[in-house]
């Protein structure tokens, strides 16, 4: 058990108040294990600041004492980056939950790092706006965590990932200094783009405290279709046709027979078709006027075996649930190894086929469940029934992805889970630049040590 020194606890309590410095093991527990249960470690102490000034105060205390910190938002990250490894201080941003009024003229708003995605969506909807990033962890994932991981989700196809929504940022550096770019300027070419750099930095360069975000129009007319197809290649052909012909296309997701069975068993959901099919493509179109006719016309003569279509909210949500419940259904079936990978679209069908082969070769016990954001070339490779600490299947999958010209992280980040594999898809010069940036901003390696740049080449 890691014990915090009395001096550190009292210094932190002087900043945030004693009731927001947790050193009781029972109170710390929820902050010490990640969502997948694969990653956990002891926190020296958990600190819960209320605002930017308190975050800066906490970082000054930790900087003076050379105590490392793990920032944590909703703790829904899937690569082990949000939980302590070796007695770090966990810095919870959950209390930074202030939502400023929507700037209706600019179509923007400023949110505290601890605001959940669902709260932001509800707040924007009150003023007739939507937010460009959406994902299944919306009730817990925070804006700060989503910026830190450059989260992707189900609408990247149309609006881009989290970095594309960021207009400005406020963050606290490792020594407690605050950088603030929040005026809401759409254009501002004054030097390096620090907000863009912090997006995707996984808590290794600074602690995000507030974010200025662009909003998108709320599109009320929607249609969702689950299309049964022969295989990934057919799903890609159908997707390419829809992208070329249907301007309102907002999502294109893929899942497979084994995942649907897990979801049905876990949630009790109704199967969309009387018989099972090898692969399913879920598409959603959204517009001001009903896009159903456009979708149906574009699907005429397409290589689709069967289709389930819904336009009413309840029906749409039922179809989405088949795809979105994958993560929780897999988690309920065991402690998964999760590999979030991307390849060029032209290699995606090959990846889907070969990943099953390489996992079976690496470990005969392994059970593979695949799903993902087809339109982005992004597959989530979930492997069940292998020991949590055994990386054999991870190595096999990530090497395959590198061979296919892909990336070992599409949207979840590197965290601790993939830090040893960075060199597979980043060369020495690239890693040297990232290391130099890290040292410039955090020379004592106090922010999220072990994450992203932890290991040199194995």
Ligand X SMILES: Cc1cc2nc3c(=O)[nH]c(=O)nc-3n(C[C@H](O)[C@H](O)[C@H](O)COP(=O)(O)OP(=O)(O)OC[C@H]3O[C@@H](n4cnc5c(N)ncnc54)[C@H](O)[C@@H]3O)c2cc1C
Q: Is the dihedral of CA 40, 42, 47, 52 positive or negative?
A: negative
Tell me what percent of the chain is helix, strand and coil, each rounded to the nearest 5.
35, 20, 40
Site for ligand X in 57-76 (CB under 6 A): 70-76
CB of 32 to ligand X, least distance (A): 12
Secondary structure of residue 199 in the 3-state scheme: coil
**108, 284, 411, 442: which one contacts ligand X (CB under 6 A)?**
411
Count of CB atoms situated within 10 Å of the CB of 318: 17
β-pair type (216-217, 129-130): antiparallel
**54, 82, 382, 425: which one contacts ligand X (CB under 6 A)?**
82
CB of 446 to ligand X, least distance (A): 13
Whose tokens are 């890290």? That residue is: 438
**110, 165, 248, 327: which one contacts ligand X (CB under 6 A)?**
327
Q: Any bridge partners for residue 149, and if so which?
A: none
- Residue 81 touches ligand X, criterion: CB under 6 A: yes
> How many residues are recorded in the chain?
458
Q: Which is nearer to ligand X, 152 or 291 (CB)?
A: 152
Q: Which is nearer to ligand X, 40 or 392 (CB)?
A: 40
Q: CA gyration radius for the chain?
A: 22
Site for ligand X in 182-241 (CB under 6 A): 202-203, 207-208
Q: 290 is written with which tokens?
A: 């009903």
Q: Which x/- pattern over 355-394 shows residues binding ligand X (rule: CB under 6 A)?
A: ----------------------------------------
Q: Rounded distance, CA 288 to CA 344, Å?
A: 32
Among 11, 24, 1, 22, residue whose Cα is nearest residue 67: 11
- Residue 152 touches ligand X, criterion: CB under 6 A: yes
Tell me the residue nearest to ligand X as measured from the CB: 145
Measured at the alpha carbon of residue 378, what is the angle toward residues 377 and 379, in degrees to the nearest 5?
Answer: 120
Contact of 142 with 117, CB cutoff 8 Å: yes
Q: Which is nearer to ligand X, 205 or 396 (CB)?
A: 205
CB of 136 to ligand X, least distance (A): 4
CB of 340 to ligand X, least distance (A): 8
CB of 449 to ligand X, least distance (A): 11
β-pair type (108-112, 166-172): unpaired
- Residue 151 touches ligand X, criterion: CB under 6 A: yes
- Residue 35 touches ligand X, criterion: CB under 6 A: yes
Q: Which is nearer to ligand X, 117 or 298 (CB)?
A: 117
Q: Which x/- pattern over 111-150 shows residues binding ligand X (rule: CB under 6 A)?
A: --x---------------------xxx---xx-xxx-xx-
Q: Rounded distance, CA 265 to CA 423, Å?
A: 39
Binding residues vs ligand X (CB under 6 A): 35, 70-78, 81-82, 93, 113, 135-137, 141-142, 144-146, 148-149, 151-153, 202-203, 207-208, 327-328, 411-412, 415, 448, 451
């Amino acid at each position: 058990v890691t014990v915090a020194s009395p001096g550190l606890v009292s210094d932190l309590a002087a900043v945030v108040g004693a009731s927001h410095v947790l050193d009781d093991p029972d109170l710390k527990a929820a902050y010490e294990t990640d969502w997948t249960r694969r990653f956990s470690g002891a926190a020296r102490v958990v600190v819960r600041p209320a605002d930017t000034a308190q975050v800066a105060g906490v970082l000054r205390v930790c900087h003076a004492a050379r105590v490392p910190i793990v920032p944590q938002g909703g703790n829904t990250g899937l690569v082990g980056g949000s939980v302590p490894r070796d007695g770090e201080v966990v810095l919870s941003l959950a209390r930074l939950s202030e939502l400023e009024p929507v700037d209706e003229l600019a179509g923007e708003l400023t949110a505290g790092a601890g605001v959940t995605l669902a709260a932001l969506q509800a707040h924007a909807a009150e003023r007739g706006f939507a937010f460009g990033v959406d994902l299944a962890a919306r009730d817990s994932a925070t804006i700060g965590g989503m910026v830190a991981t450059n989260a992707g989700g189900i609408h990247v196809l149309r609006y881009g990932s989290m970095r594309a929504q960021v207009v400005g940022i406020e963050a606290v550096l490792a020594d407690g200094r605050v950088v603030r770019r929040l005026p809401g300027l759409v254009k501002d070419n004054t030097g390096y783009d620090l907000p863009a750099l912090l997006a995707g930095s996984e808590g290794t360069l600074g602690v995000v405290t507030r974010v200025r975000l662009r909003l998108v129009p709320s599109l009320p007319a929607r249609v969702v279709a689950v299309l049964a197809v022969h295989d990934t290649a057919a799903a890609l052909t159908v997707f390419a046709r829809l992208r070329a012909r249907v301007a309102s296309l907002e999502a294109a997701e893929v899942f497979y027979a084994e995942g649907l069975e897990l979801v049905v068993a876990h949630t009790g959901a109704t199967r969309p078709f009387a018989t099972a099919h090898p692969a399913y493509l879920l598409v959603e179109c959204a517009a001001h006027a009903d896009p159903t006719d456009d979708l149906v016309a574009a699907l005429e003569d397409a290589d689709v075996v069967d289709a389930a279509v819904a336009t009413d909210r309840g029906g749409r949500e039922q179809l989405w649930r088949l795809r979105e419940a994958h993560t929780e259904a897999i988690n309920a079936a065991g402690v998964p190894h999760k590999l979030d990978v991307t390849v060029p679209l032209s290699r995606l069908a090959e990846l889907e086929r070969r990943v099953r082969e390489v996992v079976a070769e690496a470990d005969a016990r392994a059970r593979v469940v695949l799903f993902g954001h087809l339109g982005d070339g992004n597959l989530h490779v979930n492997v069940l029934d292998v020991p949590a600490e055994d990386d054999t299947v991870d190595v096999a999958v990530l090497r395959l992805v590198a061979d296919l010209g892909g990336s070992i992280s599409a949207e979840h980040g590197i965290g601790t889970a993939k830090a040893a594999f960075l060199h597979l898809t980043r060369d020495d010069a690239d890693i040297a630049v990232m290391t130099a940036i890290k040292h410039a901003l955090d020379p004592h390696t106090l922010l999220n040590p072990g994450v992203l740049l932890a290991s040199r080449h194995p």
